[in-house]
């Protein structure tokens, strides 16, 4: 069928007099029971599924009708098509054999929270629009801030004297956290130089290491910064690819001497390529001399900082303006959930606040609460705080810390296995639960370009098996394989099995190469 059916009576069956009840209680119960069974069966079987599907672009349109149906279908028909067409085309992030990217973790409590929040379906743009949703988000953020041992200045505080200056909000992604803080920093810098409106924006400069996530540079464009004024500070292998305060200072001084205005520095704790950690305190000290906003992007590694042994990675946080981390990556809370805290929420709401007449109310006007719509780009917002609270309430700090430590221990084990095989090298010291390694060049027998070709081939062969999925990066001009431990279903046996597959595949490649030379 290539177009909509214009004669429903010809094909539709059922009672024509029955009314449409999308929330019929019996249907809700039946559909959700069926869906829960599907989810449970999926988690039981996901280990046996190919991690990376072998489908071709456009496959789904060939399996499912290209035009929307005119008539209803039994729910079991929909579920049958889901199982037979959609699941085979999924890359299974939930698989214990998924090692490609930082994990997208999940948990029974997280799934339950997401399900209940979706069912309640509140749109909590103001406190009045959904008091419990707003206060649950505030509470969950304060709980997590306490686990991270953030200073009180970042807390959402309410009381008889009104709100404190700090506050937080749950956003969808790190990109949003960067964007809203860039906008606030932009406006603060413009006020500082006495610019009328946006006239002075071409003078503003922003800074980040060259290992900073690419979304930062995208967010800078969206916030209106001149691309020519976005500084990507080169990093070095001997400094483990972290941002060097000396180089940052040099760049900021040069810009200030040229009449430009340093406005924002992004400091990363756990870069995507290698898990490099920028020195928070030292970076904050440099930025303070220019009154520039400092933001910590701890999207992945921030979760580890709930463990006392990793907390030092954000030492100096009391001197920054904002910090964000994503519990959906490593803290068992399903997508999407990025937590942003700011030391002075008024600087954020001053740039993002909207006050249409139809949203005005006495509580908002009182100043006792901050309407969370004024700390994000849009107005509408999901009830994300529920699943984060349910995860922390159900598992407690001890189990969440146990989860982090287990993943780190498995990654440390893998690092040892890699170092024990002289065909491989660990390219950068392991941080947290990411191991960056490669087949190393063997003296004059394998040049650097040949090493890249060998590692690329190894990755492609591994991924084609469906038994493991790895991704790559380029660090210091070296093509490197990234092995990220952390799937919610992962155990030590999965890591060992993947390493055995890596070794076996490498041996096969080297034997084939030797045979070619002999021939």
Contact by Cβ (8 Å): 390, 113: yes
Give the rounded percent of residues in the chain with a pLDDT score beyond 70.
94
Per-residue HEC secondary structure of 17-71 comes to CCCCCCCCHHHHHHHHHHHHHHHHHHHHHHHHCCCCCCCCCCHHHHHCCCCCCCC
Say which range, 29-38, 120-129, 250-259, has the weakest mean pLDDT: 120-129
Q: Does residue 469 form part of some domain?
A: yes
Phi and psi torsions of 382, nearest 5°: -90, 165
How far apart CA 101 and CA 93 sit, in angstroms, is: 9
Residues 355, 477, single domain; the answer is no
For the domain that residue 432 is a member of, what is the CATH number? 3.90.1150.10
Say if residue 153 is in the same domain as residue 257. yes
* 424-426 sheet: strands from edge to edge: 424-426, 434-439, 478-484, 471-475
**Residues 436 and 240 sit within 8 Å (Cβ to Cβ):** no
Structural domain boundaries, residue 308: 114-393
- Asked if residue 360 and residue 268 are part of one domain, the reply reads yes
Q: What is the pLDDT of residues 379-407, one digit of tens each?
A: 889 899 999 999 999 999 999 999 999 99
Instruction: Kindly state whether residue 482 falls inside one of the protein's structural domains.
Output: yes
Question: Cis peptide before 404, with omega less than 30 degrees from 0?
Answer: no
User: Among residues 433, 176, 430, which one has the least CA distance to residue 329?
Assistant: 433
Backbone torsion region of residue 394, taken as left when φ is above 0, otherwise alpha when ψ lies between -120 and 50, otherwise beta: alpha
- pLDDT higher than threshold 60 for residue 2: no
CATH code of 193's domain = 3.40.640.10
Instruction: Flag whether 228 is in a domain.
Output: yes
pLDDT at 517: 74
Residue 264 — very low, low, confident or very high, per pLDDT cuts 50/70/90?
very high
Whether 398 maps to a domain, the answer reads no
Q: Are residues 341 and 425 in the same domain?
A: no
Active-site residue (options: 31, 207, 358, 469): 358
- pLDDT, tens only, 320-348: 999 999 999 999 999 999 999 999 998 99
Burial 146-181 (b: 16+ CB within 10 A, else e): ebbebeebbbbbbeeeebbebbbbbbbbbbbbbbbb
Number of other residues whose CB lies within 10 A of the CB of residue 412: 14
Q: pTM surpassing 0.75?
A: yes
Residue 293 shares a structural domain with residue 168? yes
Count of structural domains within the chain? 3
pLDDT band at 65; cut points 50, 70, 90: confident
* Per-residue pLDDT at 16: 53
Active-site residue flag, 358: yes
């Amino acid at each position: 069928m290539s177009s909509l059916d214009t004669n429903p009576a010809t094909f539709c069956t059922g009672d024509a007099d029955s009314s449409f009840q999308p929330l019929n209680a019996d249907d809700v119960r039946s559909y959700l029971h069926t869906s829960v069974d599907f989810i449970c069966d999926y988690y039981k079987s996901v280990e046996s599924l190919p991690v990376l599907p072998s489908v071709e672009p456009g496959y789904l349109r060939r399996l499912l009708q290209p035009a929307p149906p005119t008539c209803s279908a039994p729910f079991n028909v929909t579920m049958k098509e889901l199982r037979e067409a959609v699941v085979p085309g999924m890359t299974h992030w939930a698989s214990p054999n998924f090692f490609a990217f930082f994990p997208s973790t999940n948990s029974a409590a997280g799934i339950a929270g997401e399900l209940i929040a979706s069912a309640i379906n509140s749109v909590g743009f103001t406190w009045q629009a959904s008091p419990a949703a707003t206060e649950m988000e505030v509470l969950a953020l304060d709980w997590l801030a306490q686990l991270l041992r953030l200073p009180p200045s970042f807390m959402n505080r309410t009381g008889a004297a009104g709100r404190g200056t700090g506050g937080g909000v749950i956003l969808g992604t790190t990109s949003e956290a960067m964007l809203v803080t860039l906008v606030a920093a932009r406006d603060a810098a413009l006020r500082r130089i006495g610019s009328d409106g946006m006239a002075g924006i071409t003078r503003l400069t922003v800074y980040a290491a060259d290992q900073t996530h690419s979304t930062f540079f995208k967010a800078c464009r969206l916030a209106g910064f001149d691309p020519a004024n976005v500084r990507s500070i080169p990093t070095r292998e001997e400094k483990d690819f972290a941002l060097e305060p000396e180089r940052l200072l040099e760049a900021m001084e040069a810009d200030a001497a040229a009449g430009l205005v340093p406005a924002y520095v992004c400091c990363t704790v756990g870069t995507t390529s290698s898990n490099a950690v920028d020195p928070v305190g030292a970076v904050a000290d440099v930025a303070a001399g220019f009154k520039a906003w400092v933001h910590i992007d701890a999207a992945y590694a921030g979760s580890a900082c709930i463990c006392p042994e990793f907390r030092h990675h954000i030492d100096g946080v009391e001197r920054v303006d904002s910090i964000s981390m994503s519990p959906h990556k490593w803290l068992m809370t399903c997508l999407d959930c990025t937590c942003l805290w700011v030391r002075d929420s008024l600087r954020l709401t001053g740039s993002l606040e909207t006050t249409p007449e139809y949203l005005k109310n006495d509580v908002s006007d009182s100043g006792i609460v901050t309407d969370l719509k004024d700390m994000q780009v849009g107005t509408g917002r999901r009830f994300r705080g529920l699943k984060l609270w349910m995860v922390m309430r159900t598992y407690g700090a001890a189990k969440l810390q146990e989860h982090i430590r287990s993943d780190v221990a498995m990654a440390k084990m893998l690092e040892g296995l890699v170092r024990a095989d002289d065909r491989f090298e660990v390219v950068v010291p392991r941080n947290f639960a990411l191991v960056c390694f490669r087949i190393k060049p063997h003296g004059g027998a394998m040049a650097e370009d040949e090493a890249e070709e060998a590692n690329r081939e190894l990755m492609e062969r591994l991924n084609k098996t469906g038994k493991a999925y790895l991704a790559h990066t380029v660090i210091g001009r070296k093509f490197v394989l990234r092995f990220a431990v952390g799937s919610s279903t992962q155990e030590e046996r999965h890591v060992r099995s993947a390493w055995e597959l890596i070794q076996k595949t490498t041996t096969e490649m080297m034997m084939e190469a030797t045979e070619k030379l002999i021939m």
